[in-house]
Amino acid sequence: PALPADLPLGQISAAAGRGAYDYVCAAIDDAQAGRIRAIVTAPLNKKSMHAGGVDYPGHTEILAERSGTRDFAMMLANDEL
pLDDT, tens digit (0-9, with 9 covering 90-100), for 42-76: 889 999 999 999 999 888 999 999 999 999 998 87
Determine phi and psi for 20, rounding to 5 degrees: -60, -45
Inter-axis angle of helices 14-32 and 59-67, to 10 degrees? 40
If you average pLDDT over residues 29-52, what whole number do you get?
94
| 77 compared with 34, residue with greater pLDDT | 34
Rg, Å, the chain Cα set: 14
Rounded to whole angstroms, the Cα distance separating 79 from 81 reads 6
- Shortest CA distance to 72 belongs to which of 59, 33, 36? 59
Q: Is 74 exposed, middle or buried (0-12, 13-18, 19+ CB in 10 A)?
A: exposed
